[in-house]
Amino acid sequence: MPKLIITENPEKWNLNFEGVDVTSPSEYFSKPEYQETKRFKIINLCRSHQYQSLGYYVSLLAEARGHKVIPEIGTLQDFRFPSLIKDDAEEFDVLIQNSLKKVAEDKAIINIFFGQVENPAYAKLGVMLFNLFQIPIIQAVFVNKEKNKWQLHSLKPMHLKELAAGDISKLQEALYYYATGKKVVRKKYSRKKYDLAIMMSPDDPNPPSNAKALQKFIAAADKLGFNAEVITKNDFGKLVQFDALFIRETTNVNHYTYRFAKKAESEGLVVIDDSNSILKCTNKVYLHELLVAHKIAVPKSHIIRKDDHQIPPDFNYPLVIKQPDGSFSKGVKKVADETQLKETLKALFQKSELLIIQEFVPTAYDWRVGVINKTALYVCKYYMAQNHWQIVDWKKNGEHREGKSETLAVEDAPKALIDTALKATSLIGSGLYGVDIKEINGKFYVIEINDNPNIDAGIEDKVIKNGLYMKVMETFVERLQKR
């Protein structure tokens, strides 16, 4: 997607960034090519963003035209209410204290250019403030009050006319990193049509895709015309640079992955998995009600409340108790009798007002059907871990053992299995899902629907190999072409 830097005197900006042009507000307002397509990302570097200034109208018209723009009008409006800004910053108090703990003075003034700062000690703080407020140039003032407690005193947008001569070169360097999205100039490569962010966590001990699978996703993306870049939770401010976001990290509603999905959607990116899928799939209570309401078979289940522990009389032990937002077999407990039940409910009700209780149905394996864009992608059998009743056996020290797996061609899997998976996922959306299903006496029962399912090299791709990664990337292309 083309990027435009808009400033009053473009001739003074000697920039040669790949895929980036510099133009004036008057040209942006009047030229037809800027009015006729939504495929622009705008970096508004006008001298002022005050109400009804040229800079204000650049951001206003950019949003009206469907362009992605920094800063947004809503962000500029937020700065009219300093108390709200300070409230947001208080959520990051630990980072503020750690970043400023070696400052001897009682005041610290930090100029932030697209998330970059001059003093390395403030690097994380600069990134945090830019991610939070999305203003190209910000000046943050912190004061050290009694008891050595640093507090944000003021935060304001800065404009070109306020910068010292030496700051212009720092701004241009930061602008280069931000506008290109890379720290290395990729002159050897032709410019691709789309920019794809693949989000992962280097600290996740059980990521949805292993390193080799991520490499295969990147290779498939490259073949289909993407510049693919791996991003992390620290890259919130860079989302505006991309056309699509692929989340390959364990998701949850009360988690930054959900905020990334929402932000990306608001910027017009194609997102997998989308925030709606995260919202629906990560809560087992919601899924249970949804499946039951649409007459999709599930194991015998019942929702119990914190203020009512009554188990229906027709339920027999052993029972399985499920925490609504558990993942990777965590938050799922098996109880053999009433004593274990009471102990387990007491522990799990610390985290949720509702729980799901199911009769235990032993099987040698669970089916998993991968689905994308309402089409079956892969089929696996995940066998139970040795001497355990789940696929994953979690140890008290955090280590785990997994059962073996077997991958089948979609066409070789039972038709009723595929039909069940497609019917279930159609209730969620058209994203990327993994449907866990138990087969009992030839009948298929949905256990849960996972957004962001496991796709590991050597397991889920064992049958169609690189074709799996291509199908996922083809979905991104199709959706981008329809915009």
Contact 342, 414 (CB under 8 A): no
* pLDDT digit string, tens, across residues 320-345: 888 777 655 566 888 888 888 888 88
pLDDT of 183 = 43
**Which is it for the CA torsion 42, 46, 49, 51, positive or negative?**
negative
Q: Cα separation of 481 and 219, whole Å?
A: 20
**Which is it for the CA torsion 96, 98, 99, 105, positive or negative?**
positive
User: Looking at this protein, which amino acid is placed at residue 53?
Assistant: S
pLDDT of 189 = 39
Strands (E), 306-413: 319-322, 332-335, 354-359, 365-372, 375-383, 392-394, 400-402, 405-408
Nearest-CA neighbor of 338 among 318, 358, 362? Answer: 318
* pLDDT digit string, tens, across residues 178-229: 887 654 333 333 456 899 999 998 777 788 998 889 989 998 998 898 988 8
pLDDT of 397 = 52
pLDDT of 185 = 34
Domains identified in the chain and CATH numbers: 3-76 (3.40.250), 82-158 (3.30.470), 186-275 (3.40.50.2300), 300-359 (3.30.1490.20)
Q: Cα separation of 73 and 135, whole Å?
A: 11
Q: Cα separation of 302 and 320, whole Å?
A: 11
Nearest-CA neighbor of 223 among 461, 459, 472, 18? Answer: 472
Contact 97, 143 (CB under 8 A): no
Contact 241, 195 (CB under 8 A): yes
Q: Cα separation of 364 and 439, whole Å?
A: 10
* Rg of the chain over all Cα atoms, to the nearest angstrom: 26
Contact 155, 85 (CB under 8 A): yes
Q: Which residues, at least 6 apart from 321, have a Cβ–Cβ distance to it below 8 Å? A: 332, 333, 334, 335, 341, 344, 345, 348, 355, 356, 357
Contact 141, 154 (CB under 8 A): yes
CA distance between the termini of the chain: 12
Strands (E), 212-364: 226-231, 244-247, 270-272, 301-305, 319-322, 332-335, 354-359
pLDDT of 186 = 33
Parallel, antiparallel, or unpaired for β 41-44 and 3-6?
A: parallel
Question: What is the DSSP secondary-structure string of 150-183?
Answer: EEEEEEEE--GGGS-HHHHHHHHHHHHHHHHS-S
Structure tokens at 299: 């194991």
Query: What is residue 349's DSSP assignment?
Result: T
Q: Report which secondary-structure segment, H or E, holds 63.
A: helix 54-64
Contact 201, 29 (CB under 8 A): no
List per-residue pLDDT tens for the chain, 483 residues long.
788 999 998 888 877 787 788 999 999 999 998 988 878 889 999 988 887 888 889 998 998 888 888 998 878 877 766 655 555 555 577 788 888 988 888 899 999 999 899 888 898 888 878 877 788 999 999 998 766 788 888 888 888 878 887 888 889 888 888 887 654 333 333 456 899 999 998 777 788 998 889 989 998 998 898 988 889 888 888 888 899 999 999 998 888 999 999 999 988 899 999 999 999 998 888 888 899 999 999 988 888 888 877 888 888 888 888 877 765 556 688 888 888 888 888 888 887 788 888 888 888 899 999 999 999 999 999 998 766 667 665 555 546 667 788 999 999 999 999 999 999 999 999 999 999 999 999 999 999 999 999 999 999 999 999 999 999 999 999 999 987
Q: Report which secondary-structure segment, H or E, holds 139.
A: strand 137-145
Structure tokens at 321: 């108790």
pLDDT of 5 = 92
Question: What is the DSSP secondary-structure string of 180-227?
Answer: HS-SS--TTSPPPSEEEEEE--TT-SS-SS-HHHHHHHHHHHHHTTEE
